[in-house]
Amino acid sequence: MTVPAESLESVQQLATAWRTIVLGRDADADVRDLPGIAVRWADSRFGFLNCVTLTEAEAGAGPLARRLGEVADIMRAKKHPGFLWLFEDLLDDEARSALEATAEQAGLAYAFPGTGMAGDLLPIPEPAHPDLTFARVSTDEQVRAYADLQALAYGLPLEDCREGMVGSSALWKNEVHAYLALRDDEPVAGATTVEADGRLFVAFVATAPRWQGRGYGEAVTRKALYEGALATGLTRATLHATAAGAPVYPRIGFQPNTRIHFYGLKAADPM
């Protein structure tokens, strides 16, 4: 088998972008490139900042079992939970068929699906929405509002998201292109672009549930892309979409390219 170039790009984009994000929070975070595994682990209460991914192309069932065992050991050694991001296209047919059983044996539990996407879509027109104004995240108050949007959109504990994002205020204010969409001065959606290996990587897109379905997430994503491209001159963008966000991004110009499986550690059996 040959792994599609877009799938390899998607894995590398995660490893590169999450290096920036995790080290922007804590210079002592666990950022390692092991054989077949990239660790990008802030050990934050905000679980999306704790990431491991497999990087070995054309992995068979045997190597997959070894790597998943290593991943589970890494995750068990951490204080806070996080996710394995597993890109399906890296696996050969035998490994794909065995994935569910292999993950179970390693002590990993399937969490939710995702989709890698990319496109040569920049520059785009300056975005506008009749309901919204946009503000670049530049104050601690705005970082906190952005964290609160993550909690609302993904059903996460408010204080966990604040711990993860307010604890890295300099990252959101200075090192990435993070934007809020405001409706009558109320933050209703947010999105970020990160420069990663000659591309803009879109991350942390969130819309408050009461305002979903109005195009606010798409509008603020366009704003983060527009401003990121203006600042960097980059023309290609990538992202990893949740199931809820996947229908939105093709409207901007992204094309799906690889399936992603998210895993966490299995809950311990009750004694």
Note the pLDDT of residue 257. 95
Is the residue at 66 inside a domain? yes
Look at residues 149, 204, 199 and name the one whose alpha carbon lies nearest to residue 172.
204
Residue 235 DSSP symbol = -
CA distance 50 to 80: 8
* Residues 9 and 111 grouped into a single domain: yes
What is the pLDDT, as a whole number, of residue 271? Answer: 41
What is the residue-level pLDDT of the chain in tens, covering all 271 positions?
Answer: 689 999 999 999 999 999 999 999 888 899 999 999 999 999 999 999 999 999 999 889 999 999 999 999 999 999 999 999 999 999 999 999 999 999 999 999 999 999 999 999 999 999 999 999 999 999 999 999 999 999 999 999 999 999 999 988 899 999 999 999 999 999 999 999 999 999 999 999 999 999 999 999 999 999 999 999 999 999 999 999 999 889 999 999 999 999 999 999 998 644 4
Radius of gyration of the chain (CA): 18
The Cα 13–Cα 141 span in angstroms is 29
| Cα torsion 95, 55, 75, 144: sign | negative
Q: Judge if 99 and 147 occupy the same domain.
A: no
Query: pLDDT per residue over 63-93, tens digit each?
Result: 999 999 999 999 999 999 999 999 999 999 9
Domains held by the chain: number: 2
Asked if the structure places residue 109 within a domain, the reply is yes
Give me the CATH number covering residue 177: 3.40.630.30
Residues 177 and 93 in one domain: no
**Tokens representing residue 82 in the block:** 């996080």
Same domain, 106 and 151: no
**Does any domain span residue 214?**
yes
- Residues 105, 142: one domain? no
- For the chain, percent helix, then strand, then coil, each to nearest 5? 40, 30, 30
Instruction: Tell whether 227 is covered by a domain.
Output: yes
Q: Kindly provide the residue ranges of all beta strands, DSSP E only, lying in 89-207, ordered along the sequence.
A: 108-119, 133-136, 177-183, 186-196, 199-207
Instruction: Evaluate whether 238 touches 9 at the Cβ level (below 8 Å).
Output: yes
d(CA 216, CA 87): 29
Angstrom distance (rounded) from CA 22 to CA 39: 10
Q: In angstroms, rounded to a whole number, what is the distance separating the alpha carbons of residues 132 and 182?
A: 5
DSSP 209: G
Q: Is the pTM here over 0.85, yes or no?
A: yes
The boundaries of the domain holding residue 162 are 133-235
Nearest to 242 by CA among 215, 207, 214: 207
* Non-local CB neighbours of 138 within 8 Å, separated by 6+ positions: 173
Residue 245 is assigned to a structural domain of this protein: no
Q: For residue 85, tell me if it sits in a domain.
A: yes
In a domain, 100, yes or no: yes
- The pLDDT tens digits of the residues spanning 229-246 come to 999 999 999 999 999 889
Q: Are residues 102 and 181 in the same domain?
A: no
**Same structural domain for residues 206 and 172?**
yes
270 in a structural domain:
no
Q: Report how far apart the first and last C-alpha atoms of the chain are (Å, whole number).
A: 45
